Structure 1
Amino acid sequence: MNIAQHIALIDELCHRPFPAEHGPSDAGASGPGRHVAVLDAAADDDPARWGEVVDQLEKERDAVCELLASRWGDTPPYNLQTVLLRAEREEIPVPWRELSERASLAYVWDVEGTGRWVAVAVTDRDATQDVRLLAVVTETAPP
């Protein structure tokens, strides 16, 4: 998928109804109040290359975020590490808890007129898992 396709999918998810039950979708997974789309994924069994794979998808994330920022405004990185730490003491809503378990940071926008939030992140927490570029569209504000 290219950057234009990523943006088109994010746009579509901003208007797609949320399902009543959690389950797979054509883009990744969806559930009540959320869509999680896998924009890109890179599998590499060589642990020595894991950092390179993360860097590659971070560049792709940055390109997506640059286009989204031109539409919705610049946004600072949202530190998901603090969300993960807070999850030890308090209830963090889905999908933010799940995203904080998989990614260190996200870029987040409140998409005016839709009642939805968009987050774009790279799953960089676990070197034993495939690295993914995710887009999360949710009606739940970040904690």
Structure 2
Amino acid sequence: MTTARHLETIDLLRARTFATEPGPSDVGSEGPGFHIAVLVGYVDPGDPFAVAGPDADLPAEAEQRRAEHGALLDALDHRWGDSSLFDLTGTQLRAARTAPEEEDIPEPWLRLSATVLWLHLWRVDGRWIGVGLSEFQLLAVVTANDPP
């Protein structure tokens, strides 16, 4: 996929209304106040955040994801200014330490913390737009929900 197609996907998500219930979408998953798109990488229709696939361990695939990540960040920085780097490791640690009913980590942050350690974030028109890279996926998020 090209940077232009990634930008189209992000713009599409920015224009969509948010779902009332969490579930899969045509590009990843969605729920109250968020959309997450898997831009590049393995997608299991039953679990959009599964991190294994037939080609997931090929070095060329990982290098391509890193290149597309860098190009997308450059394009979005040009569009909206420099991003902020948001560390999700604290959220990941909080989620691992507590039972779900004891910790109120809002979506999509809880879900993202299980997938990526860092997000580049922009605040645009009252919404957060984020891009993250995991070992197996390049993700984009659009959310009205503030980071924890």
Q: Normalising TM by the smaller chain, what interval?
A: 0.7 to 0.9
Q: Confirm whether residue 138 of structure 1 aligns to residue 143 of structure 2.
A: yes
Stretches of structure 2 lacking an aligned partner (at least 5 in a row): 43-52
TM-score, normalising length: structure 1: 0.81
Work out the CA distance in 2 between the residues paired with 1:57 and 1:103: 14
- CA distance in structure 1 between the aligned counterparts of 2:16 and 2:84, rounded to whole angstroms: 26
Moved over 3 A (4+): 42-47, 52-55
Aligned counterpart for 2:114 among listed residues 101, 110, 116: 101
Other structure's SS at 1:93 match: coil
Give the TM-score normalised by structure 2. 0.79
Aligned equivalents of 1:45, 1:68: Cα separation in 2: 28
After superposition, where does 1:25-64 map in structure 2 within 5 Å?
A: 25-41=25-41, 43-45=53-55, 47=57, 49=58, 53-64=61-72
Whether 2:48 is the aligned partner of 1:69: answer no
Structure 1 residues 45, 3: CA separation in 2 closer, same or farther (over 3 Å shift)?
closer
Distance 1:103 1:84 in 2: 9
Partners of 2:4 and 2:56 in 1: CA distance = 30
Instruction: Give the match's secondary structure for 2:38.
Output: strand
Larger CA deviation: 115-124 vs 131-140: 115-124
> Aligned Cα RMSD in Å?
2.0
Q: Percent identity?
A: 41
Give the equivalent residue in structure 2 for 1:119.
Answer: 130
Task: Could you tell me which runs of 5 or more consecutive residues in structure 1 were left unpaired when the two chains were aligned.
Answer: 125-130
Q: Deviations over 1:62-94 (max 9, x none)?
A: 111111111111124322222212333543211
**Cα drift, residue 101 of structure 1:** 0.9
